[in-house]
Amino acid sequence: MTFMTDTPPSDLGYLSGRDFQRLAKFIQDTCGIRMPPVKKTMLEGRLRRRVRALGLPSLSEYCRWLFDHGRLAEEAVELIDAVTTNKTDFFREPRHFEHLTGSTLPTLLETPARPGLDRPLKVWSAACSSGSEPYTLAMVLDDFARRQRGYRFEILATDICTDALAKAKRAIYPEEMIAPVPAAWRQRYFLRSRNPDEPTVRLAPSVRQMVRFGRLNLMDEVYPLDEGMDIIFCRNILIYFDRERQEAVLRRLCGLLRPHGSLFLGHTDTIAGMDLPVRQVAPSVFIRR
């Protein structure tokens, strides 16, 4: 019997402490995502696929290529794509969507600007991943509009990850992903693939057209968007940033929200102790003062 000790899990080896530090700094400086030492194994796992795709022999050669051969700038998009966590679901944190139709939208209709009626309601999904969140918003708002004559809305969805954005635009998902969608809405808003070996669904063109996608890094000092959002969803992303960066992002989001506009954060996000121009109206839901 052979006992294998210290055998690398991959022929691509590991990251040295120095390479890990250099990568961690670049990642946090660029997209805000914290990379404490406990994430080293995770980072190695994520980068191995990329290193293979480039045909490089090891993680250390990849780092030499990045940092010593000046390839960091051109590789940044791929590197960020590799390190982002894109987990998302349709109707994730469903209470938010109940609050949206039961409180946020009717309350906004009572404000003088009557967003949705006197002008289109403007909604932004600020870390939209592969699209489940903005498409859930599209279905919810479309259903609301069916009961409210003349109701109009615009949905902008952004993310830093180009791979997630490409998936979002394609709007094709494994069939099991739409289990949380009400049955009647599955019929109304999705098309089924005819291939029984690959049970996928695709959002109907009418829903796809309701969402405009773009790449936006929440770390940027200025977001190149029109002011005057009525609703911003920024869920399950702030937890990856340190507190200083969280607060800076939240300030910029608040700067783009109209008075009476609503900000939806992830259930684990906290703004306690931050000086922001919002008041809380429900768990992780805030209104711009």
Ligand X SMILES: C[S@@+](CC[C@H](N)C(=O)[O-])C[C@H]1O[C@@H](n2cnc3c(N)ncnc32)[C@H](O)[C@@H]1O
Catalytic residues: 46, 159
Is residue 33 part of the contact set for ligand X (CB under 6 A)?
yes
**Residue 129 engages ligand X in binding (rule: CB under 6 A):** yes
160 binds ligand X (CB under 6 A): yes
If the CB atoms of residues 19 and 133 are measured against ligand X, the closer one turns out to be: 133
136 sits near ligand X (criterion: CB under 6 A): no
CB of 140 to ligand X, least distance (A): 14
User: Rounded to an integer, what distance in angstroms lies between the CA atom of residue 261 and that of residue 286?
Assistant: 8
- C-beta separation of 261 from 231 below 8 A: yes
Q: CB 78 → ligand X: shortest distance, Å? A: 13
Which residue from 24, 27, 218, 254 is in contact with ligand X, where contact means CB under 6 A?
218
Burial class (CB in 10 A: 0-12, 13-18, 19+), 85: middle
Helix locations, the chain, DSSP H: 17-31, 40-54, 59-63, 72-83, 95-99, 105-109, 132-147, 162-170, 183-189, 205-208, 243-256
Give the SS3 label for residue 72. helix
Min dist. Cβ of residue 87 to ligand X (A) = 5
State yes or no: residue 159 binds ligand X (CB under 6 A). yes
Q: Minimum Å distance from CB 177 to ligand X? A: 12
Q: Does 91 bind ligand X (CB under 6 A)?
A: no
Binding mask 36-75 for ligand X (x = CB under 6 A): ----------------------------------------
Site string for ligand X, 227-256 (x = CB under 6 A): --------xxx-------------------
Nearer residue to ligand X within complex by CB, 25 or 289: 25
For residue 96, state whether it binds ligand X (rule: CB under 6 A): no
Q: Tokens for 99?
A: 């609050």
Contact between residue 124 and residue 261 where contact means Cβ atoms under 8 Å apart? no
d(CA 249, CA 220): 9
Report the C-alpha gap between 121 and 76 in whole angstroms.
35
In the complex, what is the shortest distance from the CB of residue 90 to ligand X, in angstroms, rounded to a whole number?
Answer: 9
Among 2, 70, 87, 272, binds ligand X (CB under 6 A): 87
C-beta of residue 96 within 8 angstroms of C-beta of residue 265: no
* Shortest separation between residue 56's beta carbon and ligand X, angstroms: 24
162 binds ligand X (CB under 6 A): no
Tokens representing 48 are: 């191995």
- CB–CB of 152/146 below 8 Å? no
Q: Is 109 in the site for ligand X (CB under 6 A)?
A: no
Q: How far apart are CA 36 and CA 34, in angstroms?
A: 6
Q: Side chain identity at 278, as an amino acid letter?
A: V
Binding site for ligand X (CB under 6 A): 31-33, 84-88, 92, 127, 129, 133, 159-161, 164, 217-219, 235-237
